[in-house]
Amino acid sequence: MHDIWIEKYRPKTLDDIIGQTKVVERLKAYVKRKNVPHMLFAGSAGTGKTSCAIALARELFGENFANNFIELNASDERGIDIIRGKIKDFARTMPLGGFTFKIIFLDEADALTNDAQSALRRTMEMYANNCRFILSCNYSSRIIEPIQSRCVVFRFSPLGDDDVKVLLKRVAEKEGLTINEDALDAICYIAQGDLRRALNVLQVAATMTNEIDSNAIYVSSSTARPEEVKEMVDHALNGEFIKSRNTLDSLLIEYGMSGEDVVYQIYRVLLDLNVEPGKKVKLIDALGETDFRLTEGSNERIQLESMLAKLSLIGK
């Protein structure tokens, strides 16, 4: 249990990548040609961007992987110094093992300042003959246009539930865990296509028991069951404010949820409520206002109860 499963089960080859078939096919074509362009991997967290970059480099360089590949995280050093220092020092040296280029993987590149990105653009031009850049980001709009135009863009979509379950079952088998279908559904509900989060939830639950059910998943991840959240919303919409408030107490105390967590789970429930469209618009508007107030630092308890009161008024 001392291993971090995210690293322990990180894909070693492109064939091991789950749920990104189109991206993998394009990357394999580059491996076959033994050449790659500058690339930009964009997509939400836990969808395989880092794994794809490392697997691509491993397949390209083989035993010379460590000499011709470097991984840097832009969120550690956001300024121009990381471009003028580590990146330029690595880019200046010639590739080893008979290869014509090296690969610099810059993770979370959208954390770089605009000045740093401008310096990076110039570095990409100067060392294009012997160095390729792979940038990964959650939001491609935060990457300046001159860099985007120099890169082939790969879009990573959130993983489907079936793909997540495939890996979870594989990990559970290797770790000697018993996990039922309800638990798998619970993890998928929590992870929302983020494989990193799914593995984290499973590992935390495994510290509690080897017989993993949905209850272990929700408790270990401090996430309320969807039906409990729906019950709270239903009470509010039916004008039963006190019952709704009591359910809120249970969520905050039993699960240790934050106000933002409660708001987000209510939002997911609201989309599936069987209410007329006009009321649903008002409900989401009230939820958005509460979320804004919480973000600005308002009292959590007062805002959540105020939101339930608004739901009660809208329900009438």
Q: Mind listing the pLDDT tens digit for each residue in 274-289?
A: 888 888 899 999 999 9
Residue 37 scores a pLDDT above 80: yes
pLDDT tens string 147-183: 999 999 999 999 999 999 999 999 999 999 999 999 9
Residue 254 scores a pLDDT above 90: no
Residue 292 scores a pLDDT above 90: yes
Q: Which two tokens stand for residue 209?
A: 């028991």
Task: Please tell me the predicted confidence (pLDDT) of residue 309.
Answer: 94
Per residue, what are the HEC states of 230-254? HHHHHHHHCCCHHHHHHHHHHHHHH
Among residues 197, 220, 243, which one ends one of the domains?
220
Q: Are 214 and 230 in the same domain?
A: no
Grade residue 1 by pLDDT with cuts at 50, 70 and 90: very low
Give the C-alpha separation, 16 to 137, whole Å.
22
Residue 132 scores a pLDDT above 60: yes
Q: What value does the mean pLDDT take over residues 301-312?
A: 92
Domain harbouring 214, CATH code: 1.10.8.60
Q: What value does the mean pLDDT take over residues 82-111?
A: 83
Q: Are 39 and 173 in the same domain?
A: no
Instruction: Specify whether the backbone of 225 is left (phi greater than 0), alpha (psi in -120 to 50) or beta.
Output: beta
Extended beta strands in the chain, E state: 39-43, 69-73, 102-107, 131-137, 152-156, 178-179, 211-212
Extended beta strands in 25-110, E state: 39-43, 69-73, 102-107
Domain that holds residue 236: 226-315
Residue 79 scores a pLDDT above 60: no
Q: Are 201 and 263 in the same domain?
A: no
8 Å CB contact between 32 and 222: no
Domain harbouring 32, CATH code: 3.40.50.300
Q: Are 150 and 267 in the same domain?
A: no
CA angle 94, 99, 105 (to 5 degrees): 70
Among residues 138, 156, 174, which one ends one of the domains?
156
Q: Are 17 and 56 in the same domain?
A: yes
Among residues 102, 130, 156, which one ends one of the domains?
156
Q: Are 236 and 215 in the same domain?
A: no
Report yes or no on whether pTM surpasses 0.75: yes
Residue 42 has phi, psi (to 5 degrees) of -125, 135
Task: Please tell me the predicted confidence (pLDDT) of residue 120.
Answer: 86
Q: How many domains does the chain have?
A: 3
Residue 155 has phi, psi (to 5 degrees) of -100, 125
Q: Are 62 and 77 in the same domain?
A: yes
Q: Are 178 and 265 in the same domain?
A: no
Task: Please tell me the predicted confidence (pLDDT) of residue 256.
Answer: 82
CA dihedral 3, 73, 223, 190 (to 10 degrees): -90
Closest CA to 187 of 206, 208, 161, 209: 161
Grade residue 290 by pLDDT with cuts at 50, 70 and 90: very high
Domain harbouring 230, CATH code: 1.20.272.10
Grade residue 77 by pLDDT with cuts at 50, 70 and 90: low
Task: Please tell me the predicted confidence (pLDDT) of residue 203.
Answer: 92
Give the C-alpha separation, 18 to 163, whole Å.
6
Q: How far is CA 144 from the centre of its chain?
A: 22
